Amino acid sequence: MKYVFPALLGLCLGVVSAPVAMAQGPSSVAATTAAGFRPGQLWYDTEGNVINAHGGGVLLVGKTYYWYGEKRAQHEEEGVTVYSSKDLYNWKYEGVALTPSPDPQHDIAAGCLMERPKVVYNKKTGKYVMWFHLELKGKGYSAARAGVAVSDKPTGPFQYVSSFRPNGNMSRDMGLYVDDDGAAYHIYSSRENYDLRLARLSPDYLTATTQDSLLFANHREAPALFKTGGKYYLITSGCTGWAPNQATLHVADKPFGPWTLLGDPMTGPNAKLTYGGQSTYVLPVPGKKDAFIFMADKWNPKDLKDSRYLWLPVQFKAGQPTIDWLDQWDLSFFNKASNKQL
Summarize as ranges the residues that interact with ligand DGJ (CB under 6 A): 55, 115-116, 173, 221-222, 241-242, 278
Taking the complex as a whole, the smallest distance from the CB of residue 206 to ligand DGJ amounts, in Å, to 23
What's the CA gap between 250 and 257, in Å, rounded?
10
In the bound state with ligand DGJ, the residue whose beta carbon lies nearer, of 144 and 184, is 144
Task: For residue 225, count other CB atoms closer than 10 A to its CB.
Answer: 22
Taking the complex as a whole, the smallest distance from the CB of residue 20 to ligand DGJ amounts, in Å, to 29
Q: 121: which strand partners?
A: 128
The conformation of residue 109, written as its DSSP 8-state character, comes to: B
Q: 267: which strand partners?
A: 324
Taking the complex as a whole, the smallest distance from the CB of residue 296 to ligand DGJ amounts, in Å, to 11
Residues with Cβ within 8 Å of 226's Cβ and at least 6 positions away in sequence, in order, are 177, 232, 233, 282, 284, 292, 314
Nearest residue to ligand DGJ by CB is 241
Taking the complex as a whole, the smallest distance from the CB of residue 245 to ligand DGJ amounts, in Å, to 10
Taking the complex as a whole, the smallest distance from the CB of residue 70 to ligand DGJ amounts, in Å, to 8
Residues with Cβ within 8 Å of 184's Cβ and at least 6 positions away in sequence, in order, are 120, 122, 176, 177, 178, 200, 201, 205
In the bound state with ligand DGJ, the residue whose beta carbon lies nearer, of 18 and 112, is 112
In the bound state with ligand DGJ, the residue whose beta carbon lies nearer, of 99 and 274, is 274
In the bound state with ligand DGJ, the residue whose beta carbon lies nearer, of 235 and 331, is 235
Per DSSP, helices labelled H in the chain are 6-9
Taking the complex as a whole, the smallest distance from the CB of residue 115 to ligand DGJ amounts, in Å, to 5
Q: 322: which strand partners?
A: 315
Helix, strand, coil in percent for the chain, rounding step 5: 5, 45, 45
Q: Cis peptide before 26, with omega less than 30 degrees from 0?
A: no
In the bound state with ligand DGJ, the residue whose beta carbon lies nearer, of 167 and 245, is 245
In the bound state with ligand DGJ, the residue whose beta carbon lies nearer, of 75 and 86, is 75
